[in-house]
Structure 1
Amino acid sequence: MSETVSVTRSLVSAPLPQIIERLGLAIAQAQSALDSNSVEVAKQMAETPVELNGETYNLLTLGFAPSFYAFTEATVEAKLSFSMSETTETSVSAGVTARVNYGVVMVAASVDVSYARKFSVSAEGTSSIAARLVSLPAPEAFSEVLRRLHDKGLQNQDD
C-alpha cells in the first residue's frame, strides 16, 4: 500500500464525535461553576451588613442581586488541509564509442539506468472553539425569596 493512502486514512479518521462530546461536557461543567459562583455571591450579599439611618440591612434586602450567566451557543471548528504527491522517475541513457588505431577496431558500449520514487506529504490543521456567554436575570423563584426577605425586613422595622 502506498504511503499516500496510509496518510490519507489517518487524516480522515479525526475523532469529531469525541471533540463534540468534550465540548458539551466542558460547557456543562462551566455552567455549573457559574451557577455555584452566583449562589456564593448571594450568600455574601446576605452576610454583608449595611447600616442606614440607624438600621442594619443586608444587600439582598436592599434589592441587590447577584448576576447569573448562561451559555447561549458554542461552536467548534476544525480545518484540515493536506497535500500528497508521489512521483516516479526513470531515465535510461546509452552510448557507443568506436576507435580505429592501426587496423585494430575497438568498440565500447555503456548503459546508464536510474530509477527514483519520491513521496511528499504535508498537512496543516487549525481549530477553534468559541462560546457565547450572556447575563440573565435572577431566576424567578430566587427573586421571589428576595422579595419576601425584603418585605419581612420592612415589617421588622415597623415593629
Structure 2
Amino acid sequence: MPETIAVTRALVTAPLPQIIEKLGLAIAQAQFALDTNSVELAKVMAETEVDIGDETYNLLSLGFLPSFYSFSEATVEAKLSFTMTESTETSVSVGASVGVSYGVFMAAASVDVSYARKFSVSTEGASSIAARLVSLPAPDVFTQILKRNFEQSIE
C-alpha cells in the first residue's frame, strides 16, 4: 500500500498555482505585444500618405485608426483521472497419498503455496487553455489628439 499512497500524493500535489501564474504572465506579455503592434501600426498610418486632388493626407488624418485588442477572459482547465488497484492472492494446495502393498506402507505428502501481490496504476490527463480577444476602439486620448492635430493642420 505505500506505493499507492506515494502515487496519490504525487498526483494531488500538481503545480496548479504555477500553471495559473504562467498563464497570467503569458497573457500580460501577449497584451503588451498586441498594444505595441497597434502603436507601430499607428506610426505606419501616420507615415502613409494619400494624394486626394491637390492635397496630401496621411491615413490617420483621413480617419483610419489601428485596431486595438484586449483579452476579455482566459480559462485554464485541467482534468486528471487516475485509478489504482492493489490485490493480493494467496493459494495453498495440499495433497496426500497413501498406499499399502505386500506389507509395505507408503505415504507421500505435497504442499504447494503461492503468494502474489499486484499493483496497477493508470492515469489520464487533459488540459486546455482558452483566451478570448475583443476588439476595442482606439483610446479616447489618441483620437482627441488626432482630431486636434487635423483641425490645426486645416486652419
Give the alignment's TM-score, normalised by structure 1: 0.95
Residue 146 of structure 1 aligns with which residue?
A: 146
- What amino acid does structure 2 have at the position aligned with 1:28? A
| 1:138 partner SS | coil
The CA deviation at 1:114 is 0.3
Residue 16 of structure 1 aligns with which residue?
A: 16
- What amino acid does structure 1 have at the position aligned with 2:126? T
> Partners of 2:64 and 2:145 in 1: how far apart?
13
Q: Which runs of 5+ in 1 are unaligned?
A: none
Residue 70 of structure 2 aligns with which residue?
A: 70
1:1-159 superposed matches below 5 A: 2-155=2-155
State the aligned residue count. Answer: 155
> Partners of 1:64 and 1:148 in 2: how far apart?
15
> Partners of 2:31 and 2:69 in 1: how far apart?
8
- What amino acid does structure 2 have at the position aligned with 1:52? I
> Partners of 1:87 and 1:23 in 2: how far apart?
41
With 110-119 and 96-105 compared, the bigger mean Cα shift is at 96-105
> Partners of 1:90 and 1:96 in 2: how far apart?
20
> Partners of 1:32 and 1:146 in 2: how far apart?
23
- What amino acid does structure 2 have at the position aligned with 1:100? V
> Partners of 2:87 and 2:58 in 1: how far apart?
78
> Partners of 1:130 and 1:4 in 2: how far apart?
34
The CA deviation at 1:2 is 1.6
Check the 8 A contact 1:96/1:107 in 2, yes or no. yes
The CA deviation string for residues 127-150 of structure 1, in whole angstroms up to 9 with x for no partner, is 000000000000000010111122
The CA deviation string for residues 69-126 of structure 1, in whole angstroms up to 9 with x for no partner, is 0000000010000000000000001000111221101000000000000000001111
Q: Which runs of 5+ in 2 are unaligned?
A: none
**Identity between Structure 1 and Structure 2 (%):** 71
> Partners of 2:119 and 2:65 in 1: how far apart?
65
Check the 8 A contact 1:61/1:153 in 2, yes or no. no
- What amino acid does structure 2 have at the position aligned with 1:80? L
Check the 8 A contact 1:34/1:69 in 2, yes or no. yes
> Partners of 1:9 and 1:109 in 2: how far apart?
48
The CA deviation string for residues 37-83 of structure 1, in whole angstroms up to 9 with x for no partner, is 00000000000010000111100001110000000000001000000
